[in-house]
Structure 1
Amino acid sequence: MYFITSLQEIQDLNPFIIIGCGGGGEKFSNFEGVEAVGFIDDNIEKQGQKFCGHTVSGNLKELLETTDAKSVAIMLPIGAEGSALKYAVEAIDSGKNVVTSFRSLPLAQNESIFKFADSKGVVIKEISPRLDVIRKIFGTAPPMCTEVLPKLSYKHKTPVVFVGGTSQECGKRTTTRMLGQAAKEKGLNAVVISTDEMGFEQPVDMNFRAGSLSVMDVASAVIGSIKYMEELKQPDIIFVEGQSSITEMGNPHPRGLSTAILIGAMPDATVVCHRPNHPYREPRGIDYEVRAIEAVEPTSVVGLSVNLRNVKDKSELAKFEEKYGLPAVDVRNGGASRLLDVIIDYIGDLKK
């Protein structure tokens, strides 16, 4: 069995050279009883700097020759599998044991490395995601870690508008699409990103089901989509459709998804959709959602899109405006243009 199942197994492989001067490397070095004798990182800006009491190096061979390391711990992020494999091979070839994380180098996908380790008389083991525990509880689990996208660090140059809501099925997809249409009618080069597999009604420039991704990958997927569309279309404004709600009571499962989309969008302005008298959802309400959104991201909710499907008196919009102090529109009845004007005015003020 190549999974690490106890701290003792790690301690028995002391001392370590740790590869990866980030959260994983620091966490590994902080394990009780773990002895670190050096750190490696490919990032030139980190090399020569102090990390966990050691000077970061970029040369594994040099550390292997100048320390008494018995093992190498590879704690690199997802997306660095190539580097992780290179370091593992170099360490094993030098007669060192290897401990890797499932993020760095999932061993189930690299079985030939076991034969190489055996031929050198060393061991290679993985700190696993413990999906066996989930399988024991539920009777099923993913065959491997579903976190697969690299973590992007990118801030969009184009104004981004996030369209959130107080529940599922409250009008987010329609509002996002109609804001995009209103922007195009105004002569703006607008981009619409839908995070729903059903988001193919026009106008839409990209759609994918964010809910099919690991929640750890959702923000990267949104950031990457924005970056891609900026490079492809040089837009004037980008609209990002949210999913579910951060605060809905009855169905808590997608709330993390909604939060991750918001975080990935890093919006300049936000619209909150609401469906009064929702027949099968349990929204906490507009005030809860506005507070939650503005607490998670440094954005401002600038308007409301009210879905009047379950409202008999269509004059309710004025009451929403008065109660919440925000422009409230029905996008199906000409409200998208007014809401867009509010967004543009707000973004213009931000730029000033």
Structure 2
Amino acid sequence: MHILSSVEELQELNPFIIIGCGGGGEKFANFEGVEAVGFVDDDPRKHGTEFCGCTVSSSLLDLIDRTDARSVAIMLPIGAEGAALKYAVQAISEGKNVVTSFRSLPLSENTSLIKLSEQMNVKIKEISPRLDNIKKIFGVAPSRCTEVLPKINYRHRAPVVFVGGTSQECGKRTTTRLLGKEAMKRGLEVGVISTDEMGLEQPVDINFRAGSLSVMDVAAAIMGAMRYLEEEKDPDIIFVEGQSSLTERGNLHPRGLSASILIGAMPEFTVLCHRPNHPYREPRGVSEEIRAIEAIEPTRVIGISLNLRNMKDRTVIKRYEERFGLPAVDVKNGGSSRLMDVIMDCIGEI
């Protein structure tokens, strides 16, 4: 009843005042047949500037008085629910229809707005995440959108090392932990972020299962964790554990998760973990993963951590070094010290 499913339903509510002069507001104004007669934004830097052919205002009530708008579209991001609620109440109280989005103001969590709109004899509609369609396809779906974190953009101060891998179960958690220990031995103040609920072994400052978050929230969670660490302990270096792989063939689903962690970490340097002859995963390989990592984020892969479980041939380490032109180590047998030497040399270069 309150879910929008076509642009024709929007056209019936023309013309609009649009709240939010960002991506959401621009997308809404660009819907075919939608007429925008004004924009409102809380950012004073935008007031008086032009956005999508209109001058941005600071006051919804002022625009209601000065335009022939029949409806107000609230296109604000997650984290601005308070402002969205204020504008929705203002619009309905002035006898205007309201269109909101699940990011701005999900109606399932604001049923009082539906009652208010009924009392004022106006329409209130939501551009929803359409999880009903997912349920139609799979027979199951989340009860609500799982994207909930504010979209922060934090740039860390300390050098960050991302520990990625060519597959699952290839040694990322162990490598992250042992690099953290080695850095502490050298007298550094260390921050360690584990992106797995199994990240229980010290040293670890923050651990959480990144795979439990919406992929849209993962980068913000990583940046938020780094900001928290820098406020709490001002580390000299931060290690961020990756998950899965960007290229593994056998299990495609976590690849987006891996990319989101990498993007949130914004690392200067990356250590790549690999398990030769993996018994139950299908990694594409070291070259493919390096290309993918360095294509997604401006970082540099500076070393390889080999998981040699169940392997007796130790010459494999030298073969990997010669093949890829990178230091290759077994971190469980003293290799973390050599990797840390490489990391410190690279940090010295910048």
TM-score range, shorter chain: over 0.9
Letter in 1 for 2:59: N
Is residue 166–residue 285 contact of structure 1 (8 Å, CA) maintained in 2?
A: yes
The alignment partner of 2:239 has SS state of: strand
Return the alpha-carbon distance in structure 2 between the equivalents of residues 171 and 48 of structure 1. 54
Letter in 2 for 1:303: G
Paired residue for 2:151?
151
Paired residue for 1:169?
169
Q: Deviations over 1:115-145 (max 9, x none)?
A: 1111111111100101011000100000010
Paired residue for 2:66?
66
Paired residue for 1:343?
343
Identity %: 70
Paired residue for 2:27?
27
Q: Deviations over 1:17-50 (max 9, x none)?
A: 0011111111110000000001111112222221
**Runs of at least 4 residues off by over 2 Å:** none
Paired residue for 1:116?
116
Letter in 2 for 1:293: I
- Residue 203 in structure 1 maps to residue 203 in structure 2: yes
Is residue 17–residue 69 contact of structure 1 (8 Å, CA) maintained in 2?
A: yes
Paired residue for 2:309?
309
Q: Mapping of 1:268-279 within 5 angstroms?
A: 268-279=268-279
Paired residue for 2:44?
44
Paired residue for 1:265?
265
Letter in 1 for 2:28: F
Letter in 1 for 2:347: I
Q: Deviations over 1:157-205 (max 9, x none)?
A: 1111000000000000000000000000000001110000000101111
Is residue 276–residue 310 contact of structure 1 (8 Å, CA) maintained in 2?
A: no
Return the alpha-carbon distance in structure 1 between the equivalents of residues 136 and 282 of structure 2. 32
Return the alpha-carbon distance in structure 1 between the equivalents of residues 310 and 324 of structure 2. 20
Q: Mapping of 1:94-113 within 5 angstroms?
A: 94-113=94-113
TM-score by length of 2: 0.99
Q: Mapping of 1:181-200 within 5 angstroms?
A: 181-200=181-200
Cα distance, 1:104 vs structure 2: 0.3
- Tell me whether 234-243 or 44-53 shows the greater mean CA deviation: 44-53
TM-score by length of 1: 0.99
Cα distance, 1:86 vs structure 2: 0.5
Q: Mapping of 1:189-338 within 5 angstroms?
A: 189-338=189-338
Return the alpha-carbon distance in structure 2 between the equivalents of residues 341 and 127 of structure 1. 53
The alignment partner of 1:191 has SS state of: strand
Letter in 2 for 1:300: R
Is residue 303–residue 339 contact of structure 1 (8 Å, CA) maintained in 2?
A: yes
Structure 1 gaps, min length 5: none
Return the alpha-carbon distance in structure 2 between the equivalents of residues 121 and 138 of structure 1. 37
- Tell me whether 42-51 or 78-87 shows the greater mean CA deviation: 42-51
Is residue 194–residue 204 contact of structure 1 (8 Å, CA) maintained in 2?
A: yes
Q: Deviations over 1:54-103 (max 9, x none)?
A: 11111111111111110000001111111101100000011100000010
Paired residue for 1:14?
14
Paired residue for 1:81?
81
The alignment partner of 2:44 has SS state of: coil
Is residue 18–residue 72 contact of structure 1 (8 Å, CA) maintained in 2?
A: yes
Cα distance, 1:310 vs structure 2: 3.4
Return the alpha-carbon distance in structure 1 between the equivalents of residues 46 and 349 of structure 2. 39
Return the alpha-carbon distance in structure 2 between the equivalents of residues 73 and 200 of structure 1. 46
Return the alpha-carbon distance in structure 2 between the equivalents of residues 310 and 87 of structure 1. 62
Return the alpha-carbon distance in structure 2 between the equivalents of residues 18 and 203 of structure 1. 49
Letter in 2 for 1:105: L
Cα distance, 1:9 vs structure 2: 0.9
Letter in 1 for 2:327: P
Letter in 1 for 2:49: Q
Return the alpha-carbon distance in structure 2 between the equivalents of residues 326 and 46 of structure 1. 49
Is residue 24–residue 76 contact of structure 1 (8 Å, CA) maintained in 2?
A: yes
The alignment partner of 1:38 has SS state of: strand
Return the alpha-carbon distance in structure 2 between the equivalents of residues 243 and 44 of structure 1. 40
- Tell me whether 56-65 or 295-304 shows the greater mean CA deviation: 56-65
Cα distance, 1:311 vs structure 2: 2.1
Return the alpha-carbon distance in structure 2 between the equivalents of residues 60 and 229 of structure 1. 40
Letter in 2 for 1:241: E
Letter in 1 for 2:151: K
Is residue 161–residue 238 contact of structure 1 (8 Å, CA) maintained in 2?
A: yes
Q: Deviations over 1:209-230 (max 9, x none)?
A: 0000000000000000000000
- Residue 130 in structure 1 maps to residue 134 in structure 2: no
Query: How many corresponding residue pairs?
Result: 350
